[in-house]
Structures are given as C-alpha cells and as structure tokens.
Structure 1
Amino acid sequence: MHGPEPLPEVASATTPDPRWGFGAFLLVEAILLTSAALVLAALGPVPAGQPMPVGHVLIGTITPTVVAATAAVLITRVRGNGPLADLRLSWRWSDVKTGLKFGMVGLVCTTVGAFVWTEIVGEQNASSAISALIEDQPMSVTAAVIMFLYLWLLGPICEEIIYRGLLWGAVERLNWGNEKWGRVAAFLLSTAVFAVSHLEPLRTTLLLVISVPIGLARLYTGRLLGSIVAHQMNNFLPAVAILLTTLGIATL
C-alpha cells in the first residue's frame, strides 16, 4: 500500500459542487427510520410469545435500508452530479483488491472483538438484532438465501452509500483548511455515526471496531468501492453463520 490514490476523474475540479450537504444525510436518516416504522406498522403486531414471521423479518430488515439508499442516490441526481461523482462511486480493480485486504483485517478484528465482547457481556447479550430475530426460527431455502445475499452483498452497498457516500461527502466538503483533514474528519464522523445508527447500544463499541477497517478502505482509496468491498468481506462469515442457522444446520 502506497497511500491514497488520486480521486476519480468524475470528481475533478471541473465538476460543479453538489447542492446537498448534511441536510441530505439527515433527510435520508429520517427516511430510514420512518420507513422502518411504517413497515412495522403495515405488517402488524406479532402475537405475544410468537416469533416474527419470516416474511416480516425479510421485509422489515431489507426495505428501510434499500429505500434510504435509493433516496440518497436520487438526491445526488437531483441536487448534484449523480452518484458516480458525488459519492466517488467508480469501478477500479485496485479498489476491489484494497477492499479485500481491509476486509480481511476487518474479519480478524470482528472475530477477536466479538469473542472479547461475548466474554464481557455474555452470550445472551452479545447477539446482533438480526441474529436475535432469526434465532430458533428456521427459514425456507429461498428466504434464507435472500437474507444471506442481503447481509453479504446488498446491505453493505446500501449502508456505504448512506454513511461513507452521502455523509462522508457532506463532511469532506466542509472548510477544513486542506483536503487531508477533510478526509480524516469524514472518516472519524462516519465511523462513529455508522456504529451508533444501528441502534444497538450494547454493541456500539463492537460496531466501532468493525467500522474502522471499512472506513480505512474508503480513506485509503478515496472512493466508495473500496469500503463497499471491505464491508461485504467483513459481513461474509456472519452472513454464512446466519444462513446455516436459518436452514437449521447450525446454531448461533
């Protein structure tokens, strides 16, 4: 690794400044929370003592994040130069390779962090929100594969668009004196907000550990693809574990 690469051509000095900032990110966060509440209300209450139906789990998990990420992309098209320029979203094999490297580091950090965290809080309090939802609830093969693909591939894309795309871009464009400090500030704030936004207070410290290598991939490459790949790499083993659990092959 030889330091951050130049930003892609779509983000050159000739590209007009986007007409969105923190307000856009706050709007997307509001859309995320509101859509989650609306989906839960539309699905209706779950009878006491009964597990949440599989369909409800899938819809409630996937829909809000996809809706929010779609809103973020639309904002860049309406108020900016589109996601390729505004979110630094471009394809480079070098970014994929860098993302895989940081993702491997993230897997190690996540594994060690999860072990330590479980020892501190106990197994009953160490599970993620999604793990708690699907615990002891077998799914059909189709539903299990959909959940696996979301947790491994689609979810990271959506979350990266929101936090290390939209939020990162809003922070980076503030007047920090030079580009370096803007990128560092974007890394620090997006890392913290990403961890807190999962709304799992007990796991916030662990989520910070998980978030750091992903953010470093974004910081190092200067583009979003690196952090997307790192996030997907980091999510792969947990997604496999949940897949095996929902198929009744293993237990979390």
Structure 2
Amino acid sequence: MFDTRDQRWGVTDAAIGILLSTAGSLGWAWLTRTVVLPEWLQVLGAFLAIWVPLVVVLQVADAARGRRSHWRDFGLRFTWIDLLWGAGIGLLARGAVTLIEVAATGRTSLDGGVLALPSGFTFWFGVVLAPVVLGPIIEETFYRGLVLRAVARRTGGGRRVAASVAVLVSALVFALAHLAVGGVVSPAAAAMTFTGALVLGLATGVLAVATGRIGGAIIAHVVFNGLLVAAVLAR
C-alpha cells in the first residue's frame, strides 16, 4: 500500500482532468463531424484530446502541490517483478473479459472481421503505438497513480477500506471515461466497452495497491491491449 500522508493534490485534480479529457474528446468528435480532416489528423487529434488534459493535470499536480517526482507522487516506478506480475494480470484480465463476452454475446472482441487496416502513420500510431504503449502509460499514471491515491486519501475507515474503495472508484471512473469517449453505437457495444474497462481497472488497481507502484499496472494494460491488437493483425 502506498503512503498518501503528505499528498496535497486530490480528488479535485482528478475531477478536473476527467472533465477536461471528456470535453476534449467530445469536442474533437464534433469537429471531425463538422470539418473534413485527413485520416491521420483525425486519429492523432482523437487521442491527444483525451490525453493532453490528463498529462497537464498530472504535471500541475506534481509540480504545484506534489513532491515534483512522478515516482513519489504517482508511484511511476518499475521493477523486474512488475514484468511478471503485469503480464500475468494482463492475461487474466483479457481472459476474464473474453469469457464475459462469449457468455453475453456468443462472440469475443478477439474474433470477427476487419474490412481493412489503415496504413502509414494512422496504422503505426492509431493501431499500435497509441493503444499499446502511450495509452497504458498515460492512463495508468492518471487513473491508478492520481485518481486511486486521491480517493484513498479521502476515504476513512482504515487502510484496507480506503484501498478497496479507491480501487473500485478508480475502476468505475476509468470504465465510464471509456464509455464517454468510445463512440459506441449500440447498447450491447456500450456494455462490453464498460465491462472490459472495468475488469482491467479493477485488476490494475489491485496490482497498484499491492505493490505500491504502477509499473505492473502499466505492463498489465500493455498486455491487455496488445493481445487485442495482435488478434486484429492476425486476422
């Protein structure tokens, strides 16, 4: 369990980041429906609209009200054991989501057809780099580094209660954020998007609390998303 005693940033910072990220995503979606933009710019802007507010809030919280160390403030640290724990948790989370999808819909996000993959920058950034590398780092630092710790600090009832509430709240917020910016078009797709993000959020939250750092959570997120990307590329 991490130490939050001298932490001066909190749930207000988390709320600001979430609101700005959601507003940025919805605003960019509106812009792309209004103005004709190149495909690569649409993809780049969609990710930046979500991530830039999160990164800005992390930087401001760390520099203005933190200890000016992402390691001490958000637990952004890796050890060799994080590779093992992260890979295992990522595999378990993807397996759990696959079982839920099969039980609910008779199919899984790991199968099905893709008409055509993009090429060039859109492929390397939008299909590979963003979901498998950049997304896990930024999102885990914000949701398991800032949000989870902020909620734990505000929750009474002892360390175990605080940790449990923080894991659940950070996972729910993470899942709702994916639902808000995911652009899903049906109730079934919305339910699967929410469920997948919730399972991943719970898994990485427990790992972050257990280790006191988010290195393993980042690796788990990489594996979770990477398996889906690998399945898409293998079709």
**1:1-252 alignment, distance < 5 Å:** 7=2, 17-43=6-32, 45=34, 54-74=39-59, 75-82=61-68, 83-119=70-106, 136-147=115-126, 148-199=128-179, 201-203=190-192, 204-242=194-232, 244=233, 250=235
Distance change in 2, residues 1:138/1:230 (3 Å):
closer
Deviation at residue 170 of structure 1 after TM alignment: 0.6
Is the contact made by 2:62 and 2:73 (CA closer than 8 Å) also made in structure 1?
Answer: yes
Is the contact made by 1:19 and 1:79 (CA closer than 8 Å) also made in structure 2?
Answer: yes
CA distance in 1: counterparts of 2:175 and 2:214, whole angstroms = 18
CA distance in 2: counterparts of 1:21 and 1:144, whole angstroms = 37
Identity in percent = 27
Is the contact made by 1:87 and 1:161 (CA closer than 8 Å) also made in structure 2?
Answer: yes
Corresponding letter in the other structure for 1:103: G
CA distance in 1: counterparts of 2:215 and 2:209, whole angstroms = 11
* Equivalenced residues, count: 221
CA distance in 2: counterparts of 1:158 and 1:101, whole angstroms = 21
> Which segments of 5 or more consecutive residues in structure 1 lack a partner in the other structure?
1-5, 128-134
- Kindly report the root-mean-square deviation, in angstroms, between the aligned alpha carbons of the 2 structures: 2.9
Query: Once the two structures are superposed, what CA deviation does each residue of 1:34-54 show, in whole Å capped at 9, x if it has no partner?
Result: 22234335545267xxxx852
TM-score by length of 1: 0.75
CA distance in 2: counterparts of 1:114 and 1:153, whole angstroms = 25
Corresponding letter in the other structure for 2:62: T
TM-score by length of 2: 0.80
Query: Once the two structures are superposed, what CA deviation does each residue of 1:87-139 show, in whole Å capped at 9, x if it has no partner?
Result: 111221122321112112112112222322332xxx7xx87xxxxxxx63541
Deviation at residue 65 of structure 1 after TM alignment: 2.7
CA distance in 1: counterparts of 2:4 and 2:167, whole angstroms = 21
Corresponding letter in the other structure for 1:65: I
**Bigger shift: residues 152-161 or 209-218:** 209-218
> Which segments of 5 or more consecutive residues in structure 2 lack a partner in the other structure?
185-189
Is the contact made by 1:39 and 1:60 (CA closer than 8 Å) also made in structure 2?
Answer: yes
CA distance in 2: counterparts of 1:176 and 1:212, whole angstroms = 20
CA distance in 1: counterparts of 2:212 and 2:47, whole angstroms = 28
